[in-house]
Amino acid sequence: MELCKFFKSIVDQDTSHIVVCDLNHTVIYMNPAAEKRYEKRGGAALCGKSIFDCHNARSCDTIKKVVEWFAADKSHNRIYTFFNEQLNKDVYMIALRDDDGTLIGYYEKHEFRNRETAKLYDFAD
């Protein structure tokens, strides 16, 4: 089985919304959680559009600066961008690189701070 199918499945099963952009700042992929989260802004129809279409000018400038920082050094791969107090989560921008370390895109990563409330190994339906 093709390895990329496994990676796609990992991203698709993630409950955090994941929006992947190329270096032209075009949305090239959204996982189902992101499609649902951004449904009012177009959901899956955002694929193929500029990420700048749904951000204000200040945010667009910041995104450009972060991508320039990613491109400046192969060790520049993660930057903290925001804390969402209401949802108790940290937000990061993450560089995406090909096998030789060349920058190919980026995505936003959300790390929730809330402790899991589900029971361990709860197989109940």
Percent of the chain having pLDDT more than 90? 83
d(C-alpha 70, C-alpha 120), whole Å = 38
* Domains: count for the chain: 1
Tens digit of pLDDT for each residue in 31-54? 999 999 999 999 999 999 999 998
Is residue 98 one of the residues assigned to a domain? yes
Beta bridge partners of 111: 90
Angle in degrees, CA 16, 19, 23, rounded to 5: 150
The CATH code of the domain that includes 86 is: 3.30.450.20
Nearest to 97 by CA among 69, 80, 77, 68: 77
Is residue 5 one of the residues assigned to a domain? no
The reported pTM is: 0.88
Enclosing domain of residue 30: 17-112
Is residue 74 one of the residues assigned to a domain? yes
